[in-house]
Amino acid sequence: MSLTNAPRPLRSVLIANRGEIACRVMRTARRLGLRTIAVYSDADANARHVREADEAVRLGPAPARESYLDIDKVIAAAKLSGADAIHPGYGFLSENAEFVAACEAAEIVFVGPPASAIAAMGDKASAKARMANAGVPLVPGYHGEAQDDALLREEAGKIGYPVLLKASAGGGGKGMRVVESDREFQAALDGCRRESRAAFGDERMLIEKYLTQPRHVEVQVFCDSQGNGVYLFERDCSVQRRHQKVLEEAPAPNLSPALRQAMGEAAVRAAQEIGYVGAGTVEFLLDAASETSSSEAVHFYFMEMNTRLQVEHPVTEMITGEDLVEWQLRVAAGLPLPKAQDELTLTGHAIEARLYAEDPDNDFLPATGTLERFGLDPNAGGLAPERVRLDSGVEAGDDVSMHYDPMLAKLIVHGEDRGQALAEMDRALAALDVSGVTTNRRFLQRLVTHPDFIAARLDTRFIEHHHDDLFANEPVTDADIARAALVALDRLDRASDERSPWERSDGWRLNAPQHVRLAFAEAEGTPPIPVVATRSASHSTWQLSVNRNGEESNHYEGKLQRLDGDAVAITLDGHRRRLLARTELSAGGETIILTAAGFESRLIWRRSDRVDHLSHEVAAKLSAPMHGTVVALLVEPGQPVEKGTPLVVVEAMKMEHTLSAPAAGAVEAFHFKVGDAVAQGDELLAFASAEATEGV
């Protein structure tokens, strides 16, 4: 049934959000024939969600309080544009009961649960009381009304340390602290109260037993206004930083079908207990120790219910083949759920990685800037497009401001099983072409290739426990440096080709440098690592010597072949690798970035290379001007010579031609001996000039 002749007809929807979720919701709304209306703050006037919408209405200045969180302005925008419904996305006003009431008052359909259901789950303490009623298991703890310090401390003692203090009104990990012992209790309580008062204007606390190695497993539920409820299986979101999710997957690894069903049914009971309608997520903690046992022996505990669509909903879409936004819109229009429980199936495995504009190596500090490039590089090898989804709210050229959440996009992959999904994710992350803004891309790659993640040894402190591996500065090998050098050499050649394109007509680079000294640094301020490159006589390969800290040099023979776009094939001593090669300007020079699945190397190319520069004219003199014979070598290799010193004599057509030093320097090697025949264009010798020359 179309949404236009549903019990509550929908022809248009306003999305009271921004970024990737606004774009995501509009995609389905458009497919269902709805007119889409975006809202925006001044910081987002030209944002992607505004560009993609049929209409867009300005809310106000950049701060969320004056724009996306301003209920009156959002309602006014809906009236102005004649929106039949408002989809709140996640965050912002999505779990605000007052906003739902305002929609009702304005006779606009709110795509989400009734205000009463939001209110019931909005407070963690009263939510726990309701859940206990519905027979949903709770973490042992205290969630009573009495709040005096002595009583709370006594309750904590009864529960047994460690305990977790949580703000009743809390969310987003705020007002939450682990308390290890009775001695620390008072200080932690004071701290949590302060935080909670500042963030939520409320200082009520609850206490829970702190599970030291739990998994975060949540169940997707859906209810319609006819009283039907189903669960669309679960997601494991154990990999978190600062209690915020980084990787999510569905289904949860190693969950027995019995436990899956028990959790699913408990989640539907939880939703129905509060008269839920729409998409919701019931979050549970799972005792990691009991994950493979049967449902009777396993402990899972209700944590909270999120009364909205979750960031990580795409992994559920991928394993069920359902469009959850479509379900939301249908339910909001008063239609029944599209499927019953026994019609829902679970196929394969899906993983989502959240791409944040942040610096993992700097305590996940949010990053800002202008995205120079953004997207999945189609030239990356081995990607299966039908298995990969990139949900983003940005495009190249967009600004990333400090006003909103730093999440830029979500990369979601699907595989026949978890192993395939992991491999797909690794490749997709390598193909993610993003520059201009620091992101956690490389960190995500390290996560998905970590042996314990691959083995699904998951718990909510995964990142903390594997800190050393995940944040390790990967050692840069000499081979990495040699590969970067080949990229640099290719850039130099390209630059000189552009300057004198006719040189390429016979495939013979008359003026290309034969000897280049390059320098790389692992990071700004680290000592330069010199590389000496010598082009082979055939011009197809380079001999490279990498010399670190005066240690013995490592020698390589390498070549680079350009493929499509940024893709290159680099062969080093017979080992060919397909990589994406990019350069980014940085303070210390140009950073050469090479990526492949599970691999990234970044090296700063110090652009004060000493290129033994052979100008067109000079080079011509060092190559045989025509077919002939070498008749004299006039200097010894290595002997210092002045510019203009005669070096070699070639006889051709009965005339002698003398080639002279193009600059002060020395002949490194003669490639022919007296009596040898040479062809026109043959390089006769390798010359190193004493003077450094910038660039080519």
Which stretch, 92-100, 163-171, 429-437, 542-550, contacts ligand ADP (CB under 6 A)?
163-171
Q: From the CB of 411, what's the least distance to ligand ADP, in Å? A: 21
Helix, strand, coil percentages (3-state) for the chain, rounded to 5, are 30, 30, 40
SS3 for 148-201, per residue?
Answer: CHHHHHHHHHHHCCCEEEEECCCCCCCCEEEECCHHHHHHHHHHHHHHHHHHHC
* Residue window 304-323: x/- pattern of binding to ligand ADP, with contact defined by CB under 6 A: x-------------------
Q: From the CB of 404, what's the least distance to ligand ADP, in Å? A: 18
* Residue window 46-75: x/- pattern of binding to ligand ADP, with contact defined by CB under 6 A: ------------------------------
Which stretch, 69-77, 203-211, 228-236, 539-547, contacts ligand ADP (CB under 6 A)?
203-211
Query: Does residue 82 belong to the site contacting ligand ADP (CB under 6 A)?
Result: no
Residue 16's Cβ-count burial label (10 Å; 0-12, 13-18, 19+) is: buried
Instruction: Give the CA diameter of the chain.
Output: 111
* Residue 551, Ramachandran bin (φ over 0: left; ψ between -120 and 50: alpha; else beta): beta
Which stretch, 92-100, 172-180, 395-403, 683-691, contacts ligand ADP (CB under 6 A)?
172-180
DSSP-assigned beta bridge partners for residue 670: 685
- Which listed residue (173, 419, 644, 646) binds ligand ADP by CB under 6 A? 173
- Which listed residue (14, 56, 176, 207) binds ligand ADP by CB under 6 A? 176
- Which listed residue (240, 281, 438, 689) binds ligand ADP by CB under 6 A? 240
- Which listed residue (19, 214, 415, 436) binds ligand ADP by CB under 6 A? 214
Decide whether 152 or 648 has the Cβ nearer to ligand ADP: 152
Q: From the CB of 306, what's the least distance to ligand ADP, in Å? A: 8
The rounded distance, in Å, linking the Cα atoms of 322 and 457 is: 29
Q: From the CB of 16, what's the least distance to ligand ADP, in Å? A: 21
Which stretch, 26-34, 170-178, 409-417, 564-572, contacts ligand ADP (CB under 6 A)?
170-178
- Which listed residue (216, 414, 466, 548) binds ligand ADP by CB under 6 A? 216
Decide whether 212 or 639 has the Cβ nearer to ligand ADP: 212
SS3 for 618-670, per residue?
Answer: HHHHHECCCCEEEEEECCCCCCEECCCCEEEEEEECCEEEEEECCCCEEEEEE
Contact 484, 520 (CB under 8 A): yes
- Which listed residue (97, 121, 205, 303) binds ligand ADP by CB under 6 A? 303
The rounded distance, in Å, linking the Cα atoms of 317 and 143 is: 35
Query: Does residue 162 belong to the site contacting ligand ADP (CB under 6 A)?
Result: no
Q: From the CB of 138, what's the least distance to ligand ADP, in Å? A: 10
Contact 563, 578 (CB under 8 A): yes
The rounded distance, in Å, linking the Cα atoms of 151 and 162 is: 17
Q: Angle, nearest 10°, between helix axes 97-105 and 71-81?
A: 30
Contact 25, 86 (CB under 8 A): no
Query: Does residue 490 belong to the site contacting ligand ADP (CB under 6 A)?
Result: no
- Determine which one of 308, 330, 509, 535 is catalytic: 308
* Residue window 444-483: x/- pattern of binding to ligand ADP, with contact defined by CB under 6 A: ----------------x-----------------------
Decide whether 30 or 174 has the Cβ nearer to ligand ADP: 174
The rounded distance, in Å, linking the Cα atoms of 388 and 351 is: 10
Decide whether 74 or 165 has the Cβ nearer to ligand ADP: 165
Q: From the CB of 290, what's the least distance to ligand ADP, in Å? A: 15
Nearest Cα to Cα of residue 305 among 135, 168, 124: 124
The rounded distance, in Å, linking the Cα atoms of 460 and 237 is: 8
- Which listed residue (40, 92, 110, 210) binds ligand ADP by CB under 6 A? 210
Which stretch, 78-86, 88-96, 207-215, 337-345, contacts ligand ADP (CB under 6 A)?
207-215
Which tokens belong to 226?
A: 């006819």
The rounded distance, in Å, linking the Cα atoms of 252 and 233 is: 9
Active site residue 242: no
Which stretch, 73-81, 169-177, 574-582, 585-593, contacts ligand ADP (CB under 6 A)?
169-177
The rounded distance, in Å, linking the Cα atoms of 636 and 647 is: 9
- Which listed residue (125, 262, 285, 407) binds ligand ADP by CB under 6 A? 285
Q: From the CB of 161, what's the least distance to ligand ADP, in Å? A: 12
Q: How many helices (H) and strands (E) does the chain have?
A: 18, 39
The rounded distance, in Å, linking the Cα atoms of 87 and 333 is: 12
Query: Does residue 164 belong to the site contacting ligand ADP (CB under 6 A)?
Result: yes
The rounded distance, in Å, linking the Cα atoms of 635 and 633 is: 6
Name residue 246's amino acid. V
Q: Which helix (H) or strand (E) holds 280?
A: strand 278-287
Contact 431, 364 (CB under 8 A): no
Nearest Cα to Cα of residue 170 among 100, 243, 103, 232: 243
Decide whether 303 or 685 has the Cβ nearer to ligand ADP: 303
The rounded distance, in Å, linking the Cα atoms of 295 and 625 is: 85
- Which listed residue (20, 70, 208, 358) binds ligand ADP by CB under 6 A? 208
At 205 the three-state DSSP class reads strand
- Which listed residue (19, 113, 170, 665) binds ligand ADP by CB under 6 A? 170
Q: Under rule CB under 6 A, how many of the chain's residues touch ligand ADP?
A: 21
- Which listed residue (37, 59, 121, 211) binds ligand ADP by CB under 6 A? 211
Q: Which residue is nearest to ligand ADP (CB)?
A: 460
* Residue window 114-143: x/- pattern of binding to ligand ADP, with contact defined by CB under 6 A: -------------------------x----
Are β-strands 407-415 and 388-392 bridged in parallel, bridged antiparallel, or unpaired? antiparallel
* Residue window 241-280: x/- pattern of binding to ligand ADP, with contact defined by CB under 6 A: --x-------------------------------------
Contact 15, 342 (CB under 8 A): no
| 226 DSSP assignment | T
The rounded distance, in Å, linking the Cα atoms of 199 and 60 is: 23
Q: From the CB of 547, what's the least distance to ligand ADP, in Å? A: 48
Q: Using CB under 6 A as the criterion, which residues of the chain lie in contact with ligand ADP when the complex forms?
A: 139, 164, 166, 170-173, 176, 208-211, 214, 216, 240, 243, 283, 285, 303-304, 460
The residues assigned a catalytic role are 308
